Amino acid sequence: MTDQNIEIKAWEERIEYKRSTLSKPWKLPSSILAKHRRKEVEPVKSGPTPCAIPKKEKRQPVKIDFHQLSYDLHSSRNLKLLVLSHLNSLRRFTAGQLLEMEDIKYGATCVAIRNLKLRTNSEGEVIVKDRDIASTLVGALNLLVRDGNLITSASKWNENFDPSRDAQRAFIVVGKWNLGSTIRTIARNEGKVVIKEVWEKVKGWGNGWEGTSKGVIEEIVEQVMTGIEGQEWLESEPGIWTTLDDIAY
């Protein structure tokens, strides 16, 4: 015969264990939070944690040097990537200002020579005009407008433009510097940030913002949310950022 007192005692112990241990919410260890915020930490000696957040791959910027590129790679796409590598240090600029940078002017010259198949003079030197260089650079900038990295009041490139005027058209970098306050306000007021809603809000501003891409917004939201002091924010599900305390495990 089975002792019923032993069964009752075991049942009571299971109930107590569930109440004291299993029913409590899990908290992520600091090592997991640090990895999520791209910080290097010492490996955990106590072994693997029961839950982990997959690390999001960070795209590394492509380094372009037209001095090292072959003639076949003198393309508008590579010129666009060269300009893109400078955007972190820029906010508002014109094509004319970018042409003051030696590497960009050299790159735009190389692309102009290849794209326009320019003539050579009697000494064998390629004839390239400032007009050709400016129009080539503006074409690359308009690719970045199309990708959503830049905004400008003239979002469509007119092939019959006047380069002397177009070189002075202002381009604005879409970044943390001009979207950070909006994202932080949404986080403070709503307790969460939904990337799609931020994207729709930004596009609704008009004046060039309607061309902003969702991918660019995703990157900026991540930069802002992981930089908020005093709070731990995580992407609890794709496209939604919430505080650690709001996540149930």
Whole-model pTM: value is: 0.69
pLDDT at 150 over 70: yes
Tokens 């692309």 belong to 111
Determine whether domain 176-246 maps to CATH 1.10.10.10. Answer: yes
Q: What mean pLDDT comes out for the span 97-105? A: 96
- Give the amino acid at 197: E
- Model confidence over 164-195: pLDDT tens digits? 566 788 999 999 999 999 999 999 999 999 99
pLDDT tens digits along 44-59 = 445 544 444 455 565 6
Residues of the chain with CATH 1.10.10.1080: 71-173
CA distance 173 to 166: 17
What is the second-level CATH architecture of the domain 71-173?
A: Orthogonal Bundle (1.10)
CB-based contacts of 51: which residues, under 8 Å, 6+ apart?
26, 28, 32, 249
- Cα separation, 70 vs 90, in Å, equals 28
Tell me how long the chain is. Answer: 249
Mean pLDDT, all residues of the chain = 80
